[in-house]
C-alpha cells in the first residue's frame, strides 16, 4: 500500500476562537474531517493523514489545540477545561464555513473528540477515536483514582498536577525529554517487560525521564520530525499542554450531568496492542456495545504502541478512509 508523503503545500492559517486564535493546517476539499492531536504533539502529528484524506475526497483540517504550537495559550490554568476545548472545536467548524464535521482524535484528542461528539451531536456527526477508548463521564474523582495507582510510585498524571513541577524536568532539555517520552511508548523502543514502567516516577525526587530509553529514536520519528516538535515546545513551553491534565477534576464536575451517557453517532476505534491506554482501559473497549452503540468498527493493531497514526500510517489511513466511506453510503 502506498504511503502518502506529507504535502509540500499544506495551507496554514489562523482563525478566531474562544482561545483567541487557533492555528490550522488544511488540505483537500469535500466533507470536513477535523483532526485533534494529543500530548505532547501538534497538528504535525497528522502529517501522514492530511494528504491521504485529501486524496480520498475530504477536507482534512489538523490544528494546534489551545496551549500548543501557534494557537493561543491562555494564562489561567482553568482555561484548559474540556468545555472550553469543545467550544474551540465548534468555533473552528464555524470559522471554516461548515455546519458539521467528522471529528477524529488521538490521545487527549480522542477524549476531546468524544466529548465534542457527546455534547454536540448536531455538529459532530461521527467520531473516530485513536489510542484512548471512550469511557462515559462519571465514576470517582479522577485525582483520587490516580493517587491510588502505583503503590510506592507516583502515576504520571498525578506528577503533572502541580504547576511548575513537571515543567522543571522537561524545559531545560525539551528536545531530549520529548525524544525519550516518544520512545518510551513506541512499540520498537519501549522498555522491555519487567523493566521500570515509564508511566510512573519514584515518589521522592523521581523524574519521568529516569525511565526513558536512551539513544535510538523510534522508527517513525526522524531527527527532522523531532526538530519540529522540539521547536514548537521551545517557543511555547510546556505549561499550556500540561494544563489539560490539571483540569481533570473540573471536567469531572462539569460533565457530571452526562454521567454514563453513550455516544450515538457512527464511531471508529483504533488502538495499539502494546499501548497502555488500550490495555488499562480494556473494560472500556468491552463496554462499546453500550457506550458506543453506533460503532462501525474497532481495531487493535498488533505490535503497535501509542503513537498510532505515526507508527502505522498506512494501516490507520486505510481504516480511516474505509470508515469515512461507510458514512457516505
Q: pLDDT tens across 255-296, in order? A: 999 999 999 999 999 999 999 999 999 999 999 999 999 999
Question: How far, in Å, CA of 1 to CA of 308, rounded?
Answer: 17
User: What pLDDT does 277 receive?
Assistant: 95
Main-chain phi, psi angles of 233, to 5 degrees: -75, -25
Sign of CA dihedral 199, 203, 209, 214: negative
Q: Are 265 and 104 spatial neighbours (Cβ–Cβ below 8 Å)?
A: no
Whole-model pTM: value is: 0.96
C-alpha grid cell, residue 257:
450531568
Active site residue 9: no
Statement: residue 98 has pLDDT above 90: yes
Question: How far, in Å, CA of 6 to CA of 160, rounded?
Answer: 33
DSSP H/E element including 126:
strand 124-130
C-alpha grid cell, residue 304:
503497535
Q: Which of 107, 199, 251, 275 is catalytic?
A: 107
What are the pLDDT digits (tens) for 135-179?
999 999 999 999 999 788 999 999 999 999 999 999 999 999 999
Burial class (CB in 10 A: 0-12, 13-18, 19+), 329: exposed
- 3-class secondary structure, 264: coil
Q: Residue 215: which pLDDT band, with cuts at 50, 70 and 90?
A: confident
Active site residue 224: no
User: What pLDDT does 287 receive?
Assistant: 97
Half-sphere exposure of 295 (CA within 13 A, CB side): 18
Average pLDDT over every residue of 54-83 = 97
Q: Residue 3: which pLDDT band, with cuts at 50, 70 and 90?
A: very low
Amino acid at each position: 500500500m502506498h504511503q502518502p508523503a506529507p504535502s509540500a503545500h499544506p495551507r496554514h492559517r489562523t482563525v478566531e476562537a474562544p482561545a483567541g486564535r487557533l492555528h490550522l493546517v488544511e488540505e483537500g476539499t469535500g466533507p470536513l474531517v477535523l483532526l485533534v492531536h494529543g500530548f505532547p504533539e501538534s497538528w504535525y502529528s497528522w502529517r501522514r493523514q492530511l494528504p491521504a484524506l485529501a486524496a480520498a475526497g475530504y477536507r482534512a483540517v489538523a490544528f494546534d489545540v489551545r496551549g500548543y504550537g501557534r494557537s493561543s495559550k491562555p494564562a489561567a490554568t482553568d482555561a484548559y477545561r474540556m468545555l472550553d476545548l469543545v467550544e474551540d472545536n465548534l468555533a473552528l467548524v464555524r470559522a471554516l464555513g461548515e455546519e458539521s464535521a467528522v471529528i477524529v482524535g488521538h490521545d487527549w484528542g480522542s477524549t476531546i473528540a468524544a466529548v465534542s461528539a457527546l455534547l454536540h451531536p448536531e455538529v459532530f456527526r461521527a467520531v473516530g477515536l485513536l489510542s484512548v477508548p471512550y469511557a462515559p463521564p462519571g465514576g470517582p474523582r479522577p485525582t483520587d483514582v490516580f493517587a491510588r495507582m502505583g503503590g510506592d510510585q507516583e502515576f504520571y498524571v498525578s506528577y503533572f498536577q502541580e504547576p511548575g513541577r513537571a515543567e522543571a524536568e522537561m524545559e531545560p532539555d525539551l528536545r531530549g525529554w520529548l525524544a525519550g517520552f516518544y520512545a518510551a511508548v513506541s512499540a520498537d523502543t519501549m522498555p522491555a517487560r519487567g523493566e521500570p514502567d515509564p508511566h510512573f516516577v519514584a515518589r521522592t525526587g523521581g523524574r519521568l525521564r529516569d525511565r526513558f530509553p536512551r539513544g535510538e529514536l523510534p522508527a517513525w520519528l526522524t531527527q527532522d520530525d523531532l526538530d519540529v516538535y522540539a521547536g514548537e515546545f521551545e517557543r511555547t513551553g510546556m505549561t499550556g499542554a500540561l494544563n489539560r491534565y490539571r483540569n481533570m477534576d473540573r471536567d469531572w464536575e462539569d460533565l457530571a450531568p452526562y454521567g454514563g451517557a453513550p455516544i450515538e453517532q457512527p464511531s471508529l476505534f483504533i488502538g495499539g496492542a502494546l499501548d497502555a491506554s488500550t490495555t488499562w482501559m480494556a473494560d472500556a473497549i468491552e463496554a462499546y456495545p453500550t457506550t458506543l452503540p453506533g460503532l462501525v468498527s474497532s481495531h487493535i493493531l498488533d505490535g503497535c504502541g501509542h503513537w498510532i497514526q505515526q507508527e502505522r500510517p498506512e494501516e490507520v489511513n486505510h481504516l480511516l478512509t474505509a470508515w469515512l466511506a461507510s458514512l457516505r453510503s
